[in-house]
């Protein structure tokens, strides 16, 4: 099993902000207290992104019902659980229905490390949606502290030799370069709406 980069909840939130709609991620859940970690992640992402985050258990419904469940509503963030019990046939069925799972809102698949292997072996189409976005939920979840936020804003200002006020002005004028670091900067300033 490969080691996945550990990312706390605020890093996952940043990635979702940058990737925008139609994002697919896999989060390797912690071995212990994963239900508590899932609820904490849901709360933190909802607060950080100011969007609803919904938990959908794929293990309790048919693929047809799952397609309907994740589309109602279509644009929130879905934490997809219940996939750990999927056998090869279930993964193959999910894979065949990949296009039916497309939606404007992001999907985060919450998997054990063994389920990641099963997904990779038996759901190549789903795997292609995820791409390289496989992460382990880091032990230091939580929203970025004010000190961490200020430190990162200072790093960005030094790197680009710009002030936050100047970046906001450029964004409002539609003159911001298409660089993910500027997206991060706006998100840290609480102005993700200008992306």
Instruction: Tell me the DSSP string of the chain.
Output: -PPPPEE-HHHHHHHHHHH-TT-EEEEEPPSSSHHHHHHHHHHHHHHHHTS-EEEEEGGGS-HHHHHHHHHSSSSSEEEEE--TT--HHHHHHHHHTGGGG--SS-EEEEE-HHHHHHHHHH-HHHHHHHTT-EEEEPSS-SPPPHHHHHHHHHHHHHHHT--HHHHHHHHHTT---S-HHHHHHHHHTT-GGG-
Of 131 and 191, which is predicted with more confidence?
131
The last residue of one of the domains, among 113, 137, 161, is 137
Same domain, residue pair 70 and 131: yes
What is the tally of structural domains in the chain? 2
- The dihedral region occupied by 35, where left means phi > 0, alpha psi between -120 and 50, and beta the remainder, is alpha
73-111 confidence digits (pLDDT tens): 999 999 999 999 999 999 999 999 988 889 999 999 999
Residue for token pair 């605020």: 10
Same domain, residue pair 48 and 98: yes
Going by pLDDT thresholds of 50, 70 and 90, the confidence category of residue 141 is very low
Same domain, residue pair 50 and 99: yes
Same domain, residue pair 24 and 80: yes
The pTM of the whole model exceeds 0.85: no
The sign one gets for the Cα dihedral 125, 128, 133, 135 is positive
**Could you tell me what percent of the chain has a pLDDT over 90?**
39
The CATH number for 125's domain is: 3.40.50.300
The last residue of one of the domains, among 137, 166, 182, is 137
CB 147 within 8 A of CB 17: no
Residue 131 in any domain: the answer is yes
190 pLDDT more than 80: no
Same domain, residue pair 59 and 127: yes
Same domain, residue pair 84 and 130: yes
Same domain, residue pair 176 and 109: no
- State the residue range of the domain holding 169: 146-194
Same domain, residue pair 190 and 105: no
Mean pLDDT of 168-190: 82
Residue 1 in any domain: the answer is no
Distance separating alpha carbons of residues 69 and 107, to the nearest angstrom = 12
Q: What's the confidence (pLDDT) of residue 1?
A: 43
Going by pLDDT thresholds of 50, 70 and 90, the confidence category of residue 18 is confident
Same domain, residue pair 68 and 13: yes
Residues 6+ apart with CB under 8 A from 99: none
Of 159 and 193, which is predicted with more confidence?
159
């Amino acid at each position: 099993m490969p080691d996945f980069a550990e990312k706390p909840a605020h890093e996952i939130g940043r990635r979702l902000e940058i990737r925008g709609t139609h994002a697919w991620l896999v989060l390797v859940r912690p071995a212990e207290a994963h239900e508590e970690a899932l609820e904490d992640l849901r709360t933190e992402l909802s607060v950080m992104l100011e969007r609803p985050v919904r938990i959908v258990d794929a293990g309790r419904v048919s693929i047809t019902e799952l397609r309907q469940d994740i589309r109602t509503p279509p644009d929130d963030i879905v934490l997809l659980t219940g996939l750990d019990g999927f056998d090869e046939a279930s993964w193959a069925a999910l894979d065949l229905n990949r296009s039916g799972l497309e939606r404007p809102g992001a999907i985060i698949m919450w998997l054990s490390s063994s389920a990641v292997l099963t997904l990779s072996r038996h759901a190549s189409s789903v795997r292609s949606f995820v791409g390289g976005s496989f992460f382990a939920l880091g032990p230091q979840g939580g929203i970025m502290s004010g000190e961490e936020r200020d430190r990162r804003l200072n790093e960005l200002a030094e790197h680009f030799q710009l002030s936050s006020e100047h970046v906001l002005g450029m964004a409002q004028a539609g003159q911001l370069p298409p660089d993910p670091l500027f997206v991060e900067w706006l998100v840290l300033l609480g102005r993700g709406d200008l992306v």
